[in-house]
Amino acid sequence: MKNAKKLLSLLVVFTTASLVAQHSGNANSESAKTISSGNYNYQNQYQNNQVNTIQTTTGNENEMYISIKGIYNEKATSQRAVFSVLQIGKTAEETTKLIDERLEIVIKSITAFNPEVEVIIDMISFVPLYEYEIQKKIFNPKTYNEKPSGFELKKNLIIKFKKTNDLNTIMNICAKQEIYDLAKVDYVTSNLDHIRDVLQVKAAEEYKQMLTNYSAIMNTDLFKKEKSLTEGYNTVYPMESYRSYSAFSQASINFEPESTVNNVRKNNTQFYDAALAKTHTFVVNADITEPTIQIFYDLTIKIKLKEDQLPKNTIIRNNRYYIITANGDVKPLNL
């Protein structure tokens, strides 16, 4: 019975370890294999991980710096998908007619699916195609002459929608008309001004709390000290945050020198990799699942700890110092 309980405990431990490794995703599969192999975790179970902290405050006896960083995760108020459409025909009339018929069907289908979706057609290029015609002569070598063989028409289909899941239906509609080339998807928000105001207010609250704590620790009123500040913004869109990786396991075999090895083409894929919150003081809307527009805000405050050594009623002129006496007389100081 005791042996059965021990075996059950071991099964629970190993099952839990495998679940934890699985949650890390395939992007970290190589490192996961190294960490979870064999008795590594069992042998090192009493060792603590050493984590370096991120400095938010630095300084010396003369001045100190407080750094506050924030992230605002914003859902796109709308998205713009751009599809590239290509049509080839023998004549200009045929080419134009064929592409217009395809686009008309797409527009009608999208409007029937969701009337709020906006569709715009952007003209790109309309050029003739050429091929070479061989001209044979009796006493001369072959001559190759270019002649028109057809026309190539390119247009972009710009589709504006609000719900992220609508893109799946839009792609299916376009695919039925042999429109597969999704050039890009733009994320748009109309709340940038409001977001910056929220970040400033949140950073000010964090700053006041930090200043109150530091005043108590340093036994001085930092609110009355002379200060200067710098701030900055940055916006990162989802298309800038995708990372590529290859999901495969490489075989480890010692091949014979005369052997021929044919490797299978490995699949490359991408995933959305948002900026982590661990390097920032606060995050607004941290629990959004879908890819978001990330607005970053940095605020650095310089606090002057030591005041000037000269009296407050000192007048400075051309690098010479003067003092005003109680009678109102101005006398130079020999420094």
Supply the range of the domain harboring residue 171: 78-188
Q: Check if the beta carbon of residue 171 is closer than 8 Å to that of residue 110.
A: no
Token code pair at residue 17: 């370890």
Residue 324: inside a domain: no
Is residue 94 one of the residues assigned to a domain?
yes
**Run of H or E including 192:** helix 192-218
**Number of folded domains in the chain?**
2
Question: 159 and 210, same structural domain?
Answer: no
Same domain, yes or no, for 71 and 156? no
Query: Domain check: are 176 and 195 in the same one?
Result: no
- pLDDT at position 20: 43
Residues in the chain, overall count: 335
Tell me: do 97 and 237 sit in the same domain.
no
Buried b (16+ CB within 10 A) or exposed e, 7-38: eeeeeeeeeeeeeebeeeeebebeebeeeeee
Same domain, 69 and 196: yes
Within a domain: 87: yes
Q: Kindly state whether residue 173 falls inside one of the protein's structural domains.
A: yes
Domain end among 165, 188, 211: 188
Regarding whether 181 and 115 lie in a shared domain, the answer is: yes
Same domain, 151 and 220: no
Residue 163 falls within a domain, yes or no? yes
**CATH number of domain containing 107:** 3.30.70.2970
Alpha carbon of 28 to those of 151, 240, 277: distances in Å?
A: 49, 20, 19
Round to whole Å and give the CA distance between 176 and 109: 11
Show pLDDT as tens, one digit a residue, over the chain (335 residues): 444 444 444 444 444 444 444 455 666 665 555 445 555 555 555 566 677 777 788 888 889 999 999 999 999 999 999 999 999 998 989 999 999 999 999 999 999 999 999 999 999 998 887 666 655 655 566 666 666 678 899 999 999 999 989 999 999 999 999 999 999 999 999 999 999 999 999 999 999 999 999 999 999 999 999 999 999 999 999 989 988 887 666 666 676 777 776 777 777 888 888 988 888 999 999 998 889 999 999 999 999 988 766 566 665 555 677 788 878 788 877 76
Query: Is residue 36 in a domain?
Result: no
282 and 203 housed in the same domain:
yes
| Residue 64 belongs to a domain | yes
Say if 203 falls within a structural domain: yes
CB 112 within 8 A of CB 325: no
Residues 237 and 288 in one domain: yes
Whether 205 and 65 share a structural domain: yes
If asked whether residues 153 and 220 sit together in one domain, one would say no
